[in-house]
A = this chain, B = another copy of it.
Amino acid sequence: MLQKPVGPDPAGADSPFASTTPPRFVGPKLPPMSSARTLVKDALHAAAAPADPILLQGWVRTRRDAKGFSFIELNDGSCLKGVQVIARDTLPNYAADIGRAQTGASVEVRGRLVPSQGQGQKWEVVAESFVIVGDTDATYPLQKKGHTLEFLREIAHLRPRSNLFGAVFRVRSRLAYAVHQFFQEKGFAYVHAPIITASDCEGAGELFRVTTLDPSHPPMTEAGDVDFRRDFFGKRAYLTVSGQLEAEVFACALSNVYTFGPTFRAENSNTSRHAAEFWMIEPEMAFCDLQGNMDLAEEFVKHLIRDAREHCAADLEFFGKFVDKDLLARLEFVLERPFQRCSYTDAIDIITQSGRKWEHPVIWGDNLQSEHERFLAEEHFKCPVTVFNYPRTLKPFYMRVNEDGKTVRAMDLLVPGIGEIIGGSQREERLDVLRENLAHHKLSEKDYWWYLDLRRHGTVPHAGFGLGFERMLMFVTGVGNIRDVIPFARTPGNAEF
């Protein structure tokens, strides 16, 4: 056990904050102290009651006083549930301290794990001692239920202590790990794409500029422009919108790679699905075509759902109860059914022949709108569907042009309730076609010299995609606003904490 109990000195410290002073010594480390912390999740899942008392450390969720004793629900964030602690009035500090065990106070309890009399719990703890480690007061905002999500965003530093957000951030952590496990077990190398970059992957998009220039008095050129040669990087620099182009570099060396890092969009849009800062996963595979790419994307999405169900069962159950009643059935459904695939051309036929009235009628060559994507996934196919081979005119310069000259090997994976969750493509590996595309998109070959080099020296067919991590979390938790699956969300006007 790595952690030592920290708390009042048994010899009698005068402050509830007192803790043992690290010894001043030179030499090998001391043997671990005898009684170490037990996490609530381990206590609740104990196969048998340990002979010795256990040490629990956490926060009071609720307290109920009865005649002769109090019930304290102690939560330490290790799992959704708290453990019920019974503090009898025979404890020496009961009379003095039990009133301080308010919702939000931190406590340290030593006691015996005993079979619970109550329903829905296997074990409870009979306290042999309890100590208030840190007090709180009536201003603690999480005392009552029924706060709005909007209010909880304003106290993003406290909301992880609530049931909902504890569950969200445990799932976020577990799914991030599942991402790494999925790729590492397939032999993919994890690549840290640069965050600050002078290139703009999409050839468009709204960028955050990164600078150390004095905003009020930037150095100027003789022509009267800001002199970015004197900025930190010697030129304009931005926050990345995608690590794809850099991932391609590594796929063309290590074969199979993935990125997982923050990406940024300076879009001034206040929707429930957009944030200025979000995490993206971008695998890239050499010697892989669009079909291999679709295979991987589908396998990946299923893996994440399966992993969450296996490792976050209690948290998902909570979401199914309090956030989205259809959640568990939907996840089950997605796992059981094979995903569908449908070319863009067929998708247009399906949409136009559906007999529906559309807010945005489409013909071949138009972008699919949210209403069309949701119709395909939720009503027509009734399951996740990958739409592929989009019109060349709709897509960025790097996508591989098909033999028809009109479509590119793009793919979008659409899921019920969310819409697009993955976008990807086979990349254009032919130097001549790529140069044409750059020219067509009015991009300079000079800016992409190294990207073109990949096609000059041992070019290979390759493909990849991007999964927005937060969108996946919204899908798996049923949480409807991206702000509520990010620890500290960044949106227009918001960079608090």
Contacts and interface: CB of A to CB of B under 8 A. Distances in A.
B195 A173 contact: no
A114 interface: no
Interface in A164-220: 165-166, 169-170, 172-173, 176-177, 180, 184, 186-187, 189-199, 206-213, 215-216, 218
A286 interface: yes
Given A26-B341, A218-B215, A460-B57, A497 B226 contact: no
A187 B78 contact: yes
B493 A3 contact: no
Interface stretch (A64-72, A90-98, A291-299, A323-331): A291-299
30 contacts: A6-B288, A22-B289, A22-B290, A22-B388, A58-B255, A77-B254, A78-B254, A134-B459, A136-B456, A136-B458, A137-B456, A156-B249, A156-B450, A157-B249, A173-B189, A173-B191, A176-B190, A192-B487, A193-B488, A195-B195, A196-B264, A198-B495, A206-B212, A209-B211, A213-B215, A216-B225, A233-B490, A233-B495, A237-B495, A262-B262
A398 to B, nearest CB: 15
B461 A6 contact: yes
Contacts of A257: 173
Given A28-B338, A57-B460, A292-B4, A190 B208 contact: no
B253 A166 contact: yes
Interface in A1-19: 2-7, 15, 17, 19
Interface in A441-456: 450-451, 453-456
Interface in A136-173: 136-137, 139-140, 155-158, 160-161, 165-166, 169-170, 172-173
B461 A253 contact: no
